[in-house]
Amino acid sequence: MDASVSAVLAFDLPAWTAVQLERVEDALSKWVAPDAPAGLGDAMRYAVLDGGKRLRPLLVLAAAEAVSAQAPLRARTDEAALRSACAVELIHAYSLVHDDMPCMDNDVLRRGKPTVHVKFGEAQALLAGDALQALAFELLTPDDGCMSASVQAMLCRLLARAAGHDGMAGGQAIDLASVGVTLTEDQLRRMHRLKTGALLRASVLMGAACDERSAAREPGVVEALARYGDAVGLAFQVVDDILDVTTDTATLGKTAGKDAAAAKPTYVSLLGLDRAAAYATSLHAQALSALDASGLPERETQALRALAAMVVHRGK
Amino acid sequence: MDASVSAVLAFDLPAWTAVQLERVEDALSKWVAPDAPAGLGDAMRYAVLDGGKRLRPLLVLAAAEAVSAQAPLRARTDEAALRSACAVELIHAYSLVHDDMPCMDNDVLRRGKPTVHVKFGEAQALLAGDALQALAFELLTPDDGCMSASVQAMLCRLLARAAGHDGMAGGQAIDLASVGVTLTEDQLRRMHRLKTGALLRASVLMGAACDERSAAREPGVVEALARYGDAVGLAFQVVDDILDVTTDTATLGKTAGKDAAAAKPTYVSLLGLDRAAAYATSLHAQALSALDASGLPERETQALRALAAMVVHRGK
């Protein structure tokens, strides 16, 4: 085994994750609207705090590390990465709040707890989701000089595109229109590239964009990180579909089997369990090979590599 | 009558408005998601196109004119102002879509047409609103060099704060919590400062921020424009409350008398019609005196002055 491989294998993901999650949870607790009026802050905080794997924030922080190790402006990059990590999580959280509402998935359980609309009412859930989306962009545009305008603009650009009609919201519209419809594998892939993939990809690219040095913006690096993000995003969805049929509700923390019950197309319904698992493995390999092709030092991409493995092997 | 007063009186608001609205409608038609998937684009366009007074876009464009007449970078300022004008309108439009939903105001009529959820279903309305908010930030962050990063960052900052928990969404939460409750005038004013005032104020400040020259960012100018925006925003709401009780549904284009029916506090219920009208007149005077104090040449603020008059006198 050569040194670089053993270095990757030796990478301690749980320890790294624990450090990063503490930063993210502290920041979210500080930034998510403690002073919002008339119960809105309570609903926003309930939707965001104390729950979730924080995969998107971890991808942001891992990507920022990958491009900026030994960077001279480390403190500024760190602040931008932490704000980006929280911003993508707020977009993710708002999408769950709105997704769970009666007019969408009508789900009453999320992370083992009542969903926001069950706890606070539908109107407050709608508003909390709306306010979380705005807050994401607010976090990316501080006026205290801790981030350059060019980084702020690029982060807002990446996040807005990933969240909107050509990203997450567009994917949800396709999902909505696909209930009871037989999709081809290409159509299913397109839906997931938008619905979950766009934000996971943006998480990686936002992390890289936090570093102001031009090296982090070389087309080759950005393109390789985008391919990594796409592969991880798709793998995430394939594994999600597998877990939906192989795990019970208590373990999953949300209602299991609901895709099948809703006659929604999934990778398992399309490919069967074995081929879906093989597809996840192949996407994992694609993610790693994209990092190999990025030209970034392997040592700096350890967290990204470990996160790809975690996505594919979670629930096992 | 001195020359400056007659110049203001001579300002042709309908002609100015017609020119600006053509630009705004063309831009919205081009930018609002013609290619969004699975019916989402139809719902977004239905929510935005062919309707509305476009007061917020007009305020953006008037404020940009006020600070940037004779500016050397006029083309860039113009592009930023047009994008800002559309962005604030998208935020306004998304708030109407979500506001009209059954879990909020449950309104079936808007601008004389069925509301988005009546026409496209609740789930699509929810998604269309979400996607419109994201699109607003997308419009503010083009990557083709037509706007500087510093202008992009400042515009996103202003819009995010005005839309979120400390702005529009926060005001809506207070509104939600105020049904059947007796508010003091101070509490009612706070609700409206957030619910409608924040976005109207931001429209003015965003227009000014489109000009990259430092003159447009002088604290005195910004502060005066903010006071103008606050006064116009509050006047708008007072007049809205008056029109709600003095105009029929057909003329209003939305359900009249619904505030009273919902036992929502209004300026009319609090002050009575006469004092509410006097309050609107006094806010109009405050708006004009803020412009006088701005130090901007009176000639350049004609559109802002005429818009303040239009807000107070609409429906008459």
ipTM: 0.94
Min distance B316 CA to chain A CA atoms (Å): 34
Nearest by CB to B127, from A130, A154, A173: name it. Answer: A173
Assess contact for A123 and A137: CB atoms under 8 A: no
**CA–CA separation, A244 and B30 (whole Å):** 40
Nearest by CB to B165, from A40, A104, A164: name it. Answer: A40
Assess contact for A231 and A215: CB atoms under 8 A: no
What's the rounded mean pLDDT across residues B235-257?
A: 79
> At B109, is the secondary structure helix, strand, or coil?
strand
Assess contact for B300 and B307: CB atoms under 8 A: no
How far, in whole angstroms, is CA B149 from its chain's centroid? Answer: 24
**CA–CA separation, A81 and A58 (whole Å):** 10
Where residue B232 falls among pLDDT bands split at 50, 70, 90? very high
Above 70 in pLDDT, residue B173?
Answer: yes
pLDDT of residue B1: 43
Task: Return the percentage of chain B with pLDDT > 90, whole number.
Answer: 72
pLDDT of residue B4: 47
The residue type found at A83 is: R
Query: Tokens 């994201």, residue?
Result: B134
Min distance B140 CA to chain A CA atoms (Å): 8
Task: Return the percentage of chain B with pLDDT > 70, whole number.
Answer: 89
**CA–CA separation, B1 and B204 (whole Å):** 29
Min distance A12 CA to chain B CA atoms (Å): 37
What's the rounded mean pLDDT across residues B42-68?
A: 93
Where residue B244 falls among pLDDT bands split at 50, 70, 90? confident
CB contact under 8 A, A133 and B129: no
pLDDT of residue B219: 83
> First vs last Cα of chain A: how many Å apart?
26
Min distance B283 CA to chain A CA atoms (Å): 26
> At B39, is the secondary structure helix, strand, or coil?
coil
Above 80 in pLDDT, residue B214?
Answer: no
> First vs last Cα of chain B: how many Å apart?
26
Cβ-Cβ contacts under 8 Å, A33 against chain B: 164-166
CB contact under 8 A, B134 and A164: yes
pLDDT tens digit sequence for B58-95: 999 999 999 987 555 577 788 999 999 999 999 999 99
Look at phi and psi of residue B109 and say left if phi exceeds 0, alpha if psi is from -120 to 50, else beta: beta
pLDDT of residue B312: 95
**CA–CA separation, B104 and B122 (whole Å):** 12
Min distance A73 CA to chain B CA atoms (Å): 19
Task: Please enumerate in sequence order all residues whose Cβ is within 8 A of that of B76, keeping only pairs 6 or more positions apart, or say none.
Answer: B146, B147, B148, B212
What's the rounded mean pLDDT across residues B217-236?
A: 93
Nearest by CB to B123, from A94, A103, A142: name it. Answer: A103
Single out the residue of A234, A241, A249, A232 nearest to residue A307, CA to CA: A232
Above 70 in pLDDT, residue B130?
Answer: yes
Min distance B292 CA to chain A CA atoms (Å): 28
CB contact under 8 A, A37 and B170: yes
Above 70 in pLDDT, residue B285?
Answer: yes
**CA–CA separation, A120 and A202 (whole Å):** 30
What's the rounded mean pLDDT across residues B111-122?
A: 95
Above 60 in pLDDT, residue B135?
Answer: yes
A–B CB contacts, 8 A cutoff, strictly below: 194
Above 60 in pLDDT, residue B217?
Answer: yes
**CA–CA separation, A71 and A85 (whole Å):** 19
Task: Please enumerate in sequence order all residues whose Cβ is within 8 A of that of B137, keeping only pairs 6 or more positions apart, or say none.
Answer: A137, A156, A159, A160, B87, B156, B159, B160
Nearest by CB to B104, from A123, A131, A140: name it. Answer: A123
CATH number for A3-313 (one of 3.90.1300.10, 3.40.50.300, 3.40.920.10, 1.10.600.10): it is 1.10.600.10
> Whole-number mean pLDDT of chain B?
90
Assess contact for B291 and B228: CB atoms under 8 A: yes
Rg (CA), chain A: 19
Q: How many CB atoms lie within 10 A of CB A258?
A: 16
Interface test with B, best of A35, A141, A165, A186 (most B CBs within 10 A): A165
Single out the residue of B194, B175, B276 nearest to residue B235, CA to CA: B276
Query: Tokens 């020259």, residue?
Result: B213
Look at phi and psi of residue B218 and say left if phi exceeds 0, alpha if psi is from -120 to 50, else beta: beta
Report the chain B residue with the minimal C-alpha distance to residue A166: B36
pLDDT of residue A1: 42
CB contact under 8 A, A160 and B166: no
- Tell me the domain boundaries of chain A: 3-313
Min distance A157 CA to chain B CA atoms (Å): 5
Single out the residue of A310, A156, A166, A151 nearest to residue A239, CA to CA: A310
CB contact under 8 A, A121 and B103: yes
Q: Between these two residues, B111 and A169, which has the higher pLDDT value?
A: A169
User: What is the total residue count of chain B?
Assistant: 316
Where residue B51 falls among pLDDT bands split at 50, 70, 90? confident
Single out the residue of A85, A283, A255 nearest to residue A197, CA to CA: A283
Residues of chain A with pLDDT under 70: 1-9, 70-73, 214-216, 249-263, 316
User: What is the total residue count of chain A?
Assistant: 316
> Which run of H or of E encompasses B113?
strand B113-114
CA distances from A177 to A96, A102, A167, A186 (A): 18, 16, 16, 16
Where residue B218 falls among pLDDT bands split at 50, 70, 90? confident
Task: Please enumerate in sequence order all residues whose Cβ is within 8 A of that of B246, keeping only pairs 6 or more positions apart, or say none.
Answer: B273, B315
How far, in whole angstroms, is CA B247 from its chain's centroid? Answer: 21
> Which run of H or of E encompasses A313?
helix A302-313
Cβ-Cβ contacts under 8 Å, B154 against chain A: 141, 149
Interface test with B, best of A156, A158, A217 (most B CBs within 10 A): A156
CB contact under 8 A, B121 and A103: yes
Nearest by CB to A141, from B38, B153, B165: name it. Answer: B153
Where residue B302 falls among pLDDT bands split at 50, 70, 90? very high
Nearest by CB to B130, from A38, A98, A137: name it. Answer: A98
Above 50 in pLDDT, residue B191?
Answer: yes
Please give the structure tokens belonging to residue B122. Answer: 């609740």
Interface test with A, best of B130, B132, B193 (most A CBs within 10 A): B130
CB contact under 8 A, A126 and B101: yes
Min distance A188 CA to chain B CA atoms (Å): 13
**CA–CA separation, A241 and A171 (whole Å):** 16
Cβ-Cβ contacts under 8 Å, B38 against chain A: 170, 173-174, 176-177
Interface test with B, best of A83, A99, A130, A181 (most B CBs within 10 A): A130
**CA–CA separation, B9 and A78 (whole Å):** 54
